[in-house]
Amino acid sequence: MTALLAAVALLQVQVRDEPKDWKLITTEHFNVYYPSDELLPRAREFAGWFEQARGELQQTMGGDPARVHVFLYRSFHDLQQSSFLASPRTRPLAQQLKVPSFRDSPARTREGTECRLTGKSRALALAEPLRNRIFIHCQASDRWNYWFLKHELAHQFQFEHLFAFRLPSWLIALKDPIIPQWWWEGGADYWAGIFDS
C-alpha cells in the first residue's frame, strides 16, 4: 500500500525550472531580482529603466503604486519555463500566456483570445498587480525592453486606479467581466507609447 501511495505521489511531481539563487538590486521603488552575476549589468539597466518609466507614468497617469518586485530572466525560454505562476493544479505557464499582437496582425477569433503562446512568440512580460510583481526577460533591443517594462508597469498603475484599496484575491477574478480587455491592454500600450496606440 505504501508503495502504491509513493507511486501516485511521484506521478504528481511536475518538472520545474532549475532552482535560482536570485540576486537583488534595490531602487527607491523596485526590487529587481536576477538569476546570476552574469546578468548584473542588464539588471542595473532594467532597474534604471523601471525608475524612469515610473516617473513618466506617474506624470501622465497619476497614482503611486506600492513597491514592485521585478523578476528579470535571461531569455524568453527561461521565463516560459518559470514555475512562479504555475502550480501542480494549473496549466503550465506557457499555456497561460497571451500571444503578443501588433497593429497589422489579423483580428483574432474568440478562440485566439485564450492565453496561449505560439512558436512564433518570442517576447513576453507579465504583470501581477495583486502581488506587485512583474516578470520580464531580456531582449536584444533596448527599445523593446523599455516598451515592455513600461507596458507592464502601466498595468500596476491601472490596477492602483481601479483598486486603490486591497481586494480579497477571489474578487480579482471579477475584473475580467467588468473591465474590458481593450482597457487593460490598449491602455497599457497607450501609456507605454507602443505602436502609436
Residues 4-30: tens digit of each pLDDT: 444 444 444 343 445 568 999 999 999
Q: Is 43 a member of any domain?
A: yes
Q: What is the number of domains present in the chain?
A: 1
Angle at CA of residue 188, ends 103 and 157, nearest 5°: 180
Of 65, 72, 21, nearest to 46 by C-alpha is 72
Highest mean pLDDT of the ranges 44-48, 102-106, 187-191, 193-197: 44-48
CA 159 and chain centroid, separation = 14
Q: Which three cell numbers stand for residue 48?
A: 534604471
Amino acid making up residue 74: R
140 — pLDDT class (breaks 50, 70, 90): confident
Q: Is 107 a member of any domain?
A: no
Q: Is 45 a member of any domain?
A: yes
Q: Is 13 a member of any domain?
A: no
Q: What is the pTM of this model?
A: 0.69
Domain CATH code at residue 137? 3.40.390
Q: Is 10 a member of any domain?
A: no
Q: Is 2 a member of any domain?
A: no
Q: Is 16 a member of any domain?
A: no
Query: Which pLDDT value is given to residue 4?
Result: 46
- Contact call for residues 79 and 73 (beta carbons, < 8 A): yes
Per the structure, the complete domain to which residue 53 belongs is given by 29-98+115-165+173-192
Task: Round to whole Å and give the CA distance between 109 and 76.
Answer: 26
Q: Is 124 a member of any domain?
A: yes
